[in-house]
Amino acid sequence: MQQRVDERVADLGVESIAAASIAVEPIRETVGRRPPRMLLLLALVACAIASIPLVYLLVRVGSSGLEDAVTVLGRPRVPQLLLNTVSLAAAVTATCVLVGVPTAFLLARTRLRLRGMWTVLAALPLAVPSYLAAYGWLAAVPGMQGFGASWLVLTLVSTPYVTLPVMAALRAGTTGLDDVARTLGRSAWHAFWLGTWPQIRPATLAGALLVCLYVLSEFGAVALLRFPVLTTAIQQAYGASFNRNYAAILATVLVLLAMIIVIAEQTARGRARRRFGAVTGVARHRIVNLGHWTVPSIALLSVVPALAVGLPVAVLFARLFEAETLRALDPVELGQAILNTLALSIGGAVIAVILALPIGALAARYRGRLVRLIESLGYLALGLPGIVVGLSLVFFSLSVMPALYQTGFVLAFAYGVLFMPKAIGAIRSATAQVPTSLEDVSRTLGYGQLQTWWFVTARLARPGIFAGALLVAVTAMKELPATLLLRPTGTDTLAIELWSRTDVSAYGAAAPYAAALILVAAVPAFLLSGAGRGRVDGTAS
């Protein structure tokens, strides 16, 4: 039973040990087996849809010609932009891992008071849009700018991408191997490294991948904090120069970077899984008493939520009372924006899950070059700035389904394409946890492939699928650039209302919308944290 609860916990792409103890063997079995044609076909369709932005970029770059591309890439500023982008992504990812893994350990493996509250707080930064966090920091510390500032703000808002999956892996994992190492004379740290780290490594990698791709595509915070990266240059190119080809060439550079990162993660994950294959055992772990580590631990747990959520909200409300011109809040407008935000983000989550299901299922059960290609193409949209994805869907929907252009459907579809990668990892690991033997039983009882998938695999993988959907929904609620381009004329979401108010420096008027956005997005963040599901602590102690 405890196992079931654990699985529900936000599993954002985890190959946890509990999963591995059941699923690693089946994975080995299926190696060399060919994926069913139906599944492959569905995955290819999903992959083609996910590649719309990529195709669009190729068309744009193709129309500008090689010569233009060489000129653009030869500009003196391009190497600097590239260096800034790569170093920011590397620094933020590293810090998120360094903060997220210990945080996850504290939440999953130590005797902690108010664990539920701390868990929710750890997930809450997901609800804060990066531009809002950056804005709050700027208002509080007017001097901040550049690399350090961008690094700080992006780390604060993206740490949960690492914390949540690692926490789930730790909860489902075992300390049995650590104990073996200890009895063989290793130090506690060394034992952790040998016993536990391999169990949480895939989860850490999956989280790090999401953080890294997110930083590559981020625009709002780096623009506010004046750190020039590729995305700001892309936005500028669309801005003053109206030179869409220049923008497309820079975006292609970004895609190549994303591709390298996705492949690196796949390679690292593949190795981890093999090393891990020998491990078997029951998920049982010791709970650590913090003792005199309590105070530093509480400090670590408080720092991210306080700086990522507390500070921007406090600053915004301080401004609310400072502002001389308080525009009256229109409750109907606010309510409408909340409803639109909910409907569009839920629609986006459903579409993302539908697209991610075949890719996740394929990646969980089968190997091979084609499978790897499909999976990595599925991830690429996450590394692209929203404006590029938005424009590509303008292009696509006008040429393929013009009747639906500027409707809620196309916007929800864009969310689906943009954030599908966030669902792939969760679905992949949840599917991997379902023993193939159960599917075999279902087949021998006369169920077809699709029926088996629906009645056995999907039912058992439900918590993971749900976690993936939640993650897409929380991100879609905050999305701005694609929303600006694709929303139905006259339809406002919370993010848009917030943006239009900060743009005229009407901070006072922005505060209620910022608060509403954080509150609405806090709901999926809360569900993702896995708290409030009646789980008190590591019952295995």
Partner 1 sequence: MRTLRRGLILSAGVTALALTVAGCAPASDTEPAAPNDAAIESDGELTLYAGRDEALIAPLIEQFTEDTGIEVSARYGSSPELNALLLEEGDNSPAQVFLSQDAGALGSLANADLVSKIPAEFADLIPAGFTSEDDSWIGVTGRARVIAYDTEKLSEDEIPDGVEELTDPKWSGRVGFPPGNASFQSFVTALRVLEGEEDAEAWVEGISKNSPVLTEKNGATLDLVNSGQLDLALINHYYWYEDAAEVGADGMRAQLKFLPGDAGGMVNVTGAAILAGAEGDPDALAFIEYLVSEKAQQFFVENTYEYPLLPGVAAPEGLPELESLVNPQLDLSDLESLEITQELLAQYGLL
Binding site for partner 1 (CB under 8 A): 75-77, 80, 142-143, 223-224, 226, 228, 232-233, 235-236, 238-244, 322-325, 327, 343-344, 346-347, 349-351, 353, 387, 391, 394-395, 398, 402-410, 412, 458-459, 462, 465-466, 469, 481, 484-485, 488-490, 500-501, 503-509
Nearest distance from C-beta of residue 481 to partner 1, angstroms: 8
Give DSSP secondary structure letters for 428-455.
Answer: HHHHHTS-HHHHHHHHHTT--HHHHIII
Q: Which is nearer to partner 1, 214 or 238 (CB)?
A: 238
Angular region, 501: left φ>0, alpha ψ -120 to 50, beta rest:
alpha
Q: Which is nearer to partner 1, 181 or 223 (CB)?
A: 223
- Nearest 5°: the CA angle 458, 459, 465 is 60
Q: Which is nearer to partner 1, 60 or 201 (CB)?
A: 60
Nearest distance from C-beta of residue 447 to partner 1, angstroms: 17
Q: Which is nearer to partner 1, 425 or 538 (CB)?
A: 425
Nearest distance from C-beta of residue 184 to partner 1, angstroms: 46
Q: Which is nearer to partner 1, 111 or 244 (CB)?
A: 244
Q: Which is nearer to partner 1, 133 or 346 (CB)?
A: 346
Nearest distance from C-beta of residue 484 to partner 1, angstroms: 5
Give DSSP secondary structure letters for 41-86.
Answer: HHHHHHHHHHTHHHHHHHHHHHHHHHHHHHHHHTSTHHHHHHHHHH
Q: Which is nearer to partner 1, 76 or 291 (CB)?
A: 76
Nearest distance from C-beta of residue 143 to partner 1, angstroms: 6
Q: Which is nearer to partner 1, 26 or 312 (CB)?
A: 312
Residue type at position 160 = P
Nearest distance from C-beta of residue 56 to partner 1, angstroms: 9
Nearest distance from C-beta of residue 140 to partner 1, angstroms: 12
Spatial neighbors of 514 by CB under 8 A, at least 6 apart, are 132, 312, 313, 316, 498
Tally of residues, the chain:
541
Nearest distance from C-beta of residue 148 to partner 1, angstroms: 15
> Rounded to whole angstroms, what are the CA distances from 419 to 17, 58, 374, 482?
27, 21, 16, 12
Q: Given CA atoms 206, 209, 215, 218 in this order, what sign does their dihedral have?
A: negative
Nearest distance from C-beta of residue 468 to partner 1, angstroms: 11
Q: Which is nearer to partner 1, 383 or 481 (CB)?
A: 481
Spatial neighbors of 427 by CB under 8 A, at least 6 apart, are 353, 356, 357, 359, 360, 361, 364, 461, 464, 465, 468
Please tell me the distance from the alpha carbon of residue 109 to that of residue 171, in angstroms, as a whole number: 7
Own/partner contacts of 271-277, CB < 8 Å, gap of 24 or more, are 272/15, 272/198, 272/201, 272/202, 272/205, 273/15, 273/20, 273/24, 273/27, 273/202, 275/198, 276/15, 276/17, 276/20, 276/24, 276/198, 276/199, 276/201, 276/202, 277/20, 277/24, 277/25, 277/28
Query: String of b and e for 174-208 (b: at least 16 CB within 10 Å)?
Result: bbbbbeebbeeebeeeebbebbbebbbbbbbbbbb
Nearest distance from C-beta of residue 393 to partner 1, angstroms: 10
Gyration radius of the chain over CA positions: 23
Q: Which is nearer to partner 1, 54 or 387 (CB)?
A: 387
Q: Which is nearer to partner 1, 67 or 324 (CB)?
A: 324
**E strands in 304-424:** none
Nearest distance from C-beta of residue 109 to partner 1, angstroms: 30
